[in-house]
Structure 1
């Protein structure tokens, strides 16, 4: 299996004058057949006459099939006329006792000696002065940028290995030589763009190679094998595992680790256990054999930047099925799935069904695509993950067919597209999914490659300090720009940190529920459930900023039938993508009392200083029970009050229109000193910036209700995935003072003010108005036209700010009071 279509595939890379690698081992070629006539492009002869006397034949030498050249042959391999890039030309040559040989590399090949340009020439068992050649056993003349550049210590009846390294980008070439089995040595270095004698400046083109027995029928003969031409790149093979180094019958992860390959483990991190598949010899190759109960995990290093290819072969026996996935994060039951693929099974996201010839892919959506599976033949899969552009692609090659793109999706989504969970490439899991009778497959030739070298975000933030001055009951906005000049996506998360209050005795309870259980959530299957409420700064800025979380409460559902159960209370900090961040506190409480409130008092309090906080409760839901207690709020209402994670997957909102919804019965208890925090807000708290782009955060400052003559301070915290700018603290100072002069004339008359509902804006050349509440949150934007514009203010009573723009880009802010 390891050689299937290798020859055809490598030829195909060269057609069209572009290749990543050209390789011929000739093992499957028929002895005595003409070389160029059999292989076609890129092989030809000096006169472009495949099948004629110039065309060599395939022949055996030292137990290996290779190319056999005798006097009169003149074999050419076209290399595509490349003028940029770094290349290695490698091959083995064997010269029989008393014979000689010759090869060259050509800048330009035309078939006409008068117009061809030689780049280097090598004689084997011959010396050459540039005009005449002489039989010289054990020696070989090299012309490479000069006449008689060096001498090679040739041998008879053994394979000699040659490597010509061509760096067209830097105009340097090198010749390496060794007898097979001995160390490689450098014999010549020269300016690549010269001709072979160094007489003329040619150019940097890599055109062709020519293999030629040079003297006569009696003395000129040699063999060629293992010809490889490689275009070097910044690609890096991180893992290559064909299972050949392991012992048949051994456990995969256990044997791999013994060989220093620590990339294999199992779902429970138990190499050598029942989850660990076995090494098998099957269909002529050594491979991994997975049966029901195996759960083989391949660790990929939690990569967050770069472009990667994951490639492997799978064979499913007749009547069997299989499954594999990619994980954003691997943590056993708490893993996060990025993509899932069923083989010879269909899946609706809940139930999988045997389906010969079909396979469901979940990749950024439920049932993204169908893959046309086959039995008893090797299927090839290539999964391309470009974390830098947040795109993933699924490629499939059926036996004997060309590779096809099956689907493409946003990489940062979870496998069903429910949530953005980040771009981390964590692991793969290979798993026979159904039962012992139907689930089994073979895995081979796994490759994990990084494409195109290193990538990273390069972020800058401006400004790095903010100081503003406002008069009484005023407002202003400050743009903060994050620029990404790197070649990978820059992630950021930000919040305003107002600091810790003192040891006060004020108390505050934070919750979204109405206090009464209305419904129990669960299912007929058993799951690990973690309910959560998210508390952004706007949810507690005026109630608990600066105070500390000391405990949390949960109302145990009345439909919870199981006794003696553990509830794990957790407090998390702000994360990315509407997901929890760092775990800050955890406490386990045991209770048997359904329908009662239970309390977890944390060992260490957690201060509320401005970041979005998460309070969660985890429990084990028994099959057939509905223990998750939710109030009877409007469906979809209070969405920060109904987050749910199942089996460690990402959090998403738990509601279904017309069926169930509301808020979890979770309460967070706070104590301490309340500090002012409504004077500064951000319009966004996280983002992802493509390379070469920027994003602007708007910081809104207001002086409503603040004490005159006082300075208020906070820090704008921005955490990023740029290792050189991982954590930034930007000082923010607001000075509230008398006598702040108006710098911009009012653009419109606003009346009545105060108003009950309808507000009129009157002025010339008006364009739009942005309306903010006292917390600096944008309420809406309305387009203006004409002299008089009526704005319906169907909002709660309070203070609002009208940021008015005219058609010349001028802006003024006016305070409006709404009374009811």
Structure 2
């Protein structure tokens, strides 16, 4: 059985984005024409002499598809150059007939006239001899005066080739090997239709070929006619490896049903109606060329809708509305087509050609090109991601149409036309750094390798162990609003709210409240601000204890939500760490205390809230911008996007995280903390250590590498630092040493300048002890203090130092 699905293309238009296409049945020429003369752009002869005795001739004597074929006899030596291709996967096929009592021969070459890949001798007695990869097969027979198909599949990415006669696999071999089995060139050079015979056979050559095809191979990533399922089955239940629903709820009202009411290929198709929202993920591909094809049937009197997305639930590439009256509206790349009509109650073939390498896409209906656009553009024409995210078969209707949705789809296929580059794949050469610090500063180096072919982007940051007992919160997504940039709008005639009360330590991007936002449809929404490591860095060790948000109009149920770091390859937060339901005070800032404080360890953190927006309400407050890329996140379901995707709403949400406690002393710095590594390359990353203000002892941390590797978003290196500075080391810098730590009663201080004052504060910042000194050494009695954490503030002639100490 042939392993590629080239001829599935017969049901397509013909993928216009493939590297090279040649199909010729030779029926447009006249009997007796020379092939290299009438098709000079594609054929030549061995010595480049079209019209000579080397040239093949068009003949009506035989034809697989009437009236013509090509005759090879006498001294014919026709050559079809393949372009010296060195990557990709291709199929060469042709119909072949050996005249009765005669012989045939053809070959494929890596390098024209220098290096043969496969040779096929077809003897006059019906036997054969086929040589490739150092192997020889002579047990294959054929019937003379009968047409059969010859096909060679060549995959240079895998360095493999397969030869078929009809549906029978004849031979598979390492493509780059020469016919004698020695190492050759992994290249597709040419096809040679030569009037050759096997040595010593005494045969005479005469054969014909027809319907010659040279095509980049189409690999079926997925193809399903749904006929192996039962009527009434839920699609995402019976095919969970390939289909899901908008909120990942197979078997629910969102799931599509297998039905036998309609079918393009009997008995089954898939019904989309009611609340159906079936999703086919493509794998977030960023390289290669692909075909998505399916048959579509619009129920008479009903409407249909489907879309393709760059990023699931966040970024739409194309939307297609099929109205009940037979009109359509198709939106892609900032353009809209509404002059296409269709006939409800008939099956139509839908096809999308998506070429990520050239950033181009084409949409066809029944072999008619409807639209070509720059694939990476969002539907509104703004810049988006050059990525193939998913197909969404949704029971949607066009706004204001008053239609009801019901349609069917069948024979859904997802095909690879051009092999994409291997995705970025990270390898980090170490998993731990264990360093002994006898000096105050030091540097360690690790290596990041990209063993994929696409560029790897990365960001490196440190985290530190902090006390936090939080576990992820169970949360079920109930919102199902499909947001687009035109649905959000600013509150009219708005009166800005009062300024927020200043807090000692806050994380936020916004300014004072100046506006509020609402959406055209009521529903559940989420808004958030994300704080990356660069924003969290100065607050490591402090705790998030409350959140301030400005609420304008009265919402339904409202919850503060705190999330951990999200995916590096898809927008949005990660695990939900905490929630707090609150009753909002409108036209005002609301301070919501968390039930449990969240300690900041250096990882990204998302702070936001969910709410139900009633009709014609403008709930979440904003500043007057401009938006920080991390200050305007919003969601109406599982996906996330930005408020500023609408350029008229370039604002930040009024969201502020309030922090308490003291930041811890950190000791790791990554001088160059981000970069891009080309495919199959690597680079070193330095990690600087500064333990100037640390006491002797063992300290732990982690270095985190965030990368756009879909399989490994985050890699970690465990860090252990053993600080063993001698007291004499203090001579070289303005520093203070405190010991022992932890302590029971006395703590001792030594500095390299005069100590003037020592203050002891408790965990709440309250002063519990103060003493004056005029010496480089000092001691403090803490025996009467309760067990816990204290901060010793030492003022010297040169500086002020804060040291955390544990009282046992």
TM-score class normalised by the smaller sequence? 0.5 to 0.7
Equivalent in the alignment of 2:522: 526
In structure 2, distance between residues paired with 1:702 and 1:189: 55
In structure 1, distance between residues paired with 2:174 and 2:452: 36
Cα pair 2:569 2:713 within 8 Å, conserved: no
Cα pair 2:633 2:642 within 8 Å, conserved: yes
> Secondary structure at the residue paired with 1:300?
strand
Equivalent in the alignment of 1:752: none
Cα pair 2:635 2:641 within 8 Å, conserved: yes
> Secondary structure at the residue paired with 2:619?
strand
In structure 2, distance between residues paired with 1:398 and 1:675: 61
Q: Aligned Cα RMSD in Å?
A: 6.7
Query: Post-superposition shift, 1:654?
Result: 7.0
In structure 2, distance between residues paired with 1:187 and 1:542: 61
Query: Post-superposition shift, 1:560?
Result: 0.5
Equivalent in the alignment of 1:206: 190
Cα pair 2:117 2:175 within 8 Å, conserved: no
In structure 1, distance between residues paired with 2:207 and 2:592: 86
Cα pair 2:164 2:170 within 8 Å, conserved: yes
What does 1:144-183 correspond to in 2, within 5 Å?
A: 150=138, 152-155=140-143, 160=148, 162-163=150-151, 177=165
Cα pair 2:129 2:137 within 8 Å, conserved: yes
Residue 55 in 1 paired to residue 43 in 2?
A: no
In structure 1, distance between residues paired with 2:32 and 2:301: 44
Cα pair 1:501 1:675 within 8 Å, conserved: no
Equivalent in the alignment of 1:573: 565
Equivalent in the alignment of 2:541: 546
Distance verdict in 2 for CA 1:553–1:709, change over 3 Å: closer
Query: Post-superposition shift, 1:104?
Result: 1.6
> Secondary structure at the residue paired with 1:546?
coil
Equivalent in the alignment of 1:559: 553
> Secondary structure at the residue paired with 2:58?
coil
> Secondary structure at the residue paired with 1:499?
coil
Distance verdict in 2 for CA 1:720–1:304, change over 3 Å: farther
Query: Post-superposition shift, 1:718?
Result: 2.0
Query: Post-superposition shift, 1:192?
Result: 8.0
Equivalent in the alignment of 2:106: 105
In structure 2, distance between residues paired with 1:477 and 1:310: 50
Distance verdict in 2 for CA 1:626–1:24, change over 3 Å: same
In structure 2, distance between residues paired with 1:286 and 1:669: 62
Equivalent in the alignment of 1:788: none
Which 10-residue stretch deviates more, 616-625 or 656-665?
656-665
Distance verdict in 2 for CA 1:470–1:576, change over 3 Å: farther
From 220, 236, 243, the equivalent of 1:237 is 220
In structure 1, distance between residues paired with 2:231 and 2:194: 48
In structure 2, distance between residues paired with 1:468 and 1:10: 66
Deviations 1:458-510 (A, max 9, x none): 45579967777887xxx99999875646422224343222322599xxx9975
Residue 496 in 1 paired to residue 462 in 2?
A: yes
> Secondary structure at the residue paired with 1:381?
strand
> Secondary structure at the residue paired with 1:610?
coil
Deviations 1:106-147 (A, max 9, x none): 579xxxxx99x99846446x33xxxxxxxxxxx43547599x
Cα pair 2:274 2:405 within 8 Å, conserved: no
Distance verdict in 2 for CA 1:384–1:609, change over 3 Å: same
Count of residue pairs brought into register by the alignment: 655
In structure 2, distance between residues paired with 1:186 and 1:485: 32
From 674, 679, 684, the equivalent of 1:691 is 679
Query: Post-superposition shift, 1:10?
Result: 8.0
Equivalent in the alignment of 1:664: 654
In structure 1, distance between residues paired with 2:366 and 2:354: 17
Residue 79 in 1 paired to residue 50 in 2?
A: no
Equivalent in the alignment of 1:447: 414
In structure 2, distance between residues paired with 1:661 and 1:174: 59
In structure 1, distance between residues paired with 2:294 and 2:173: 41
> Secondary structure at the residue paired with 1:739?
helix
From 456, 461, 464, the equivalent of 2:424 is 456
In structure 1, distance between residues paired with 2:302 and 2:31: 42
Query: Post-superposition shift, 1:666?
Result: 5.2
Residue 140 in 1 paired to residue 127 in 2?
A: yes
Distance verdict in 2 for CA 1:321–1:58, change over 3 Å: farther
Cα pair 2:108 2:192 within 8 Å, conserved: yes
Cα pair 1:55 1:74 within 8 Å, conserved: no
Query: Post-superposition shift, 1:451?
Result: 1.1
Deviations 1:532-572 (A, max 9, x none): 244455666666x33555x645668362064xx25252332
Query: Post-superposition shift, 1:105?
Result: 0.9
Equivalent in the alignment of 2:361: 394
Distance verdict in 2 for CA 1:709–1:578, change over 3 Å: farther
In structure 2, distance between residues paired with 1:558 and 1:10: 55
> Secondary structure at the residue paired with 2:356?
strand
Query: Post-superposition shift, 1:528?
Result: 2.7
Distance verdict in 2 for CA 1:4–1:597, change over 3 Å: closer
Equivalent in the alignment of 1:652: 642
In structure 2, distance between residues paired with 1:685 and 1:569: 29
Equivalent in the alignment of 1:808: none
Equivalent in the alignment of 2:602: 610
Deviations 1:691-731 (A, max 9, x none): 36778878677788x36878876433223355689523263
Distance verdict in 2 for CA 1:152–1:83, change over 3 Å: same
In structure 2, distance between residues paired with 1:399 and 1:289: 19
From 620, 631, 642, the equivalent of 1:628 is 620
Cα pair 1:494 1:685 within 8 Å, conserved: yes
Gapped regions of structure 2 (runs ≥ 5): 1-5, 181-186, 199-203, 343-347, 470-502, 735-797, 801-808
Query: Post-superposition shift, 1:661?
Result: 5.5
From 563, 566, 577, the equivalent of 1:585 is 577
Distance verdict in 2 for CA 1:457–1:702, change over 3 Å: same
Query: Post-superposition shift, 1:49?
Result: 8.9
Cα pair 1:77 1:208 within 8 Å, conserved: yes
In structure 2, distance between residues paired with 1:289 and 1:276: 6
Equivalent in the alignment of 2:390: 427
In structure 2, distance between residues paired with 1:192 and 1:680: 53
In structure 2, distance between residues paired with 1:652 and 1:328: 15
Residue 715 in 1 paired to residue 702 in 2?
A: yes
Equivalent in the alignment of 1:300: 281
Deviations 1:14-66 (A, max 9, x none): xxxx975655689xx6999889889957579998499x9953338788xx868
In structure 1, distance between residues paired with 2:633 and 2:162: 62
If the length of structure 2 is used for normalisation, what is the TM-score?
0.59
In structure 1, distance between residues paired with 2:598 and 2:799: 38
In structure 2, distance between residues paired with 1:93 and 1:321: 49
Distance verdict in 2 for CA 1:598–1:380, change over 3 Å: same
If the length of structure 1 is used for normalisation, what is the TM-score?
0.58
Cα pair 1:36 1:44 within 8 Å, conserved: no
Deviations 1:311-355 (A, max 9, x none): 43788999999764433554xxxx22252345699xxxxxxxx99
In structure 2, distance between residues paired with 1:599 and 1:381: 49
Gapped regions of structure 1 (runs ≥ 5): 109-113, 128-138, 196-202, 346-353, 743-814
In structure 2, distance between residues paired with 1:87 and 1:338: 32
What does 1:732-751 correspond to in 2, within 5 Å?
A: 737-740=729-732
Deviations 1:618-643 (A, max 9, x none): 1221221223256xx66448886664
In structure 2, distance between residues paired with 1:225 and 1:662: 66
Query: Post-superposition shift, 1:383?
Result: 1.6
In structure 1, distance between residues paired with 2:644 and 2:189: 63
Distance verdict in 2 for CA 1:73–1:24, change over 3 Å: farther
Cα pair 1:574 1:580 within 8 Å, conserved: yes
In structure 2, distance between residues paired with 1:190 and 1:640: 50
